[in-house]
Amino acid sequence: MKLKITFIALAFLALVVNTFAQRDIPLTVEAIELWETDIEGARKLIDRAVETEQESKHPYAWYTRGYIYKEIFKQVDMADKNSINRDIAVECIERCISLDPIGVYAEQCELVLEYIANSYWQHTSEAIELFSTHNSREPEMFYAGFKRIFLLFRTEAELRDKQIAFYKALAQAHANIYLQDVYDNVVFINQAIGYYIKALEQDSLDYEANYNVATAYYNQGVHILRTIGPQTTIDDLIIIQDQCVQLFTDALPYMLKAHGQRPDRQETLKGLYIIYRALSDDAQQFFYKEELERMSREGLFVPNKMDQNKSPDKKEDKRED
Amino acid sequence: MPKLSTICLFLLCLSGRISAQQQQPSEDDTRAMIKANFLYQFASSNEWPADSKKGKFTIGIYGNSSLYEQLASRYGSKPVGSQTLEIVELKEVTDDRVFHIIYVDRSKKNEMPEVIQKIKGKSTLIITHFDGALALGSAINFREVNSNIRYELNKKAADDRRINLGTKILQWAVVQ
């Protein structure tokens, strides 16, 4: 029903534009008539239209130009991430909005902006999937584009979930680079932690971000400890221990927070057990180890994906002291 | 101007695939990693009498499989001076074999007097990790200090077994 009313409203609007605007925006109307059969011809017409004094003052001329450039971005450029036509489309829609204080074209403008925002989001997603040391700036660049456009038609509050998802995914991408070489790529795990913390600034109770920050800190300490060997002097060992204890200490509050949110998750209990073990806190490590065993025995854990995705460096726990 | 198909596309908008996975904390026994290195430091930085400098340098681990695994895998084939290091996991301590070092875990705390008895007269450095171990005859006892693993010394116990503790080992020991 709602769709039907919207369709009728759009049809009515088109009729009004056709009837009354032909006098004021003749080139724009001509471009509209042409765009479905000759998009390049429509582009040339609409470019000329907004250069005329009369049509450049009309918000519908700018909306039309924005729409046509958006279609060029979509159909001709095949949504190419480097297309400048997308930027032109946004500029035109912004111009339309500025010339349309009562929002006659607001709904149509929003649809164009929504499409473009979505394209930026998709490019952000792709840049994160292909994240490497060679394109490390791309995700943020595309996300900045998404955010700017999204906020033209939505609020900061509506952006929040997207922002959290972006920071967490980017953190993950950095953590993956770190894991490719945990000794040469240390800078990436610190950046990963920074992005998780940005996600937590948006929502301090985000389970995944808390858990992953804790894990990132903890694993960084373990990776440092793996460097010790016969060549390590006792002086170095003392310094390395201090450094690792600091990382384990940093991990603890995040794991506690994650556990507080999801006490039914096995991984947080296990996390607390091994962090307390690393911190030589016997009372706490035994408490969490017993909890882990009890809940496992009683089948109280909520299963999650991690159980099917064991870490490749997982080792059987044979610790006795 | 916007067609219905275009509107439908917009409605699919923001269905992005951005998502994050969970990492897993490594399950390495970090304390065993540190203690294994300390044991290697104790082996290589202290001085045993001349008659102990022949054959292999042997370390027996009594009661901590994780520590044994760390030590064996990371230091097992390394030299200690001119000797080759050999790591042995002990089921029991007997007097028919001489070790340069025996580590007695806290799980074997109650057997400490027997261990001391078995090594009587031998240049074996006893290393432990439990409260009160120095008083029972241990020469080096691990302790937790501000979440770090450190150690305390009973120099007399080492001297009695003709083992000279190295300068660095003495320097880093915590006061009892």
- The predicted complex's ipTM stands at 0.87
Average pLDDT over residues A123-133: 93
Q: State the CATH architecture for B27-172.
A: 3-Layer(aba) Sandwich (3.40)
Distance CA A207, CA A305 (A): 14
Question: Which two structure tokens, joined as six digits, stand for A16?
Answer: 């009004």
Beta-sheet strands, E only, within B9-168: 57-62, 79-80, 83-89, 101-104, 125-128, 140-145, 148-153
Average pLDDT over residues A202-211: 95
- Residue of chain A whose alpha carbon sits nearest to that of B16: A122
Contact residues, chain A, for B149 at CB < 8 Å: 241, 280
Note the pLDDT of residue A297: 87
For residue B12, name the pLDDT band (cuts at 50, 70, 90). very low
Nearest-by-Cβ selection for A225 from B34, B44, B129: B34
Residue boundaries of the structural domains of chain B: 27-172
Residue where the block lists tokens 């490594």: B26
| CB of A312 less than 8 A from some CB of B | no
User: pLDDT (tens digit, 9 = 90+) per residue, A42-67?
Assistant: 999 999 999 999 999 999 999 999 99
The yes-or-no verdict on residue A41 having pLDDT over 60 is yes
User: pLDDT (tens digit, 9 = 90+) per residue, A24-38?
Assistant: 899 999 999 998 899
The nearest CA of chain A is from the CA of B94 a distance in Å of 21
User: pLDDT (tens digit, 9 = 90+) per residue, B55-77?
Assistant: 999 999 999 999 999 999 999 98
How buried is residue A51: exposed, middle or buried, by Cβ count under 10 Å (0-12/13-18/19+)? Answer: exposed
Under 8 Å CB-to-CB from A241, ≥6 apart: which residues? B34, B148, B149
Average pLDDT over residues A66-87: 94
Note the pLDDT of residue B9: 41
Note the pLDDT of residue B169: 96
Average pLDDT over residues B105-109: 95
Note the pLDDT of residue A225: 96
Q: What is the pTM of this model?
A: 0.83
For residue B17, name the pLDDT band (cuts at 50, 70, 90). low
User: pLDDT (tens digit, 9 = 90+) per residue, B133-147?
Assistant: 999 999 999 999 999
Average pLDDT over residues A166-187: 93
Contact residues, chain B, for A317 at CB < 8 Å: 27, 29, 66
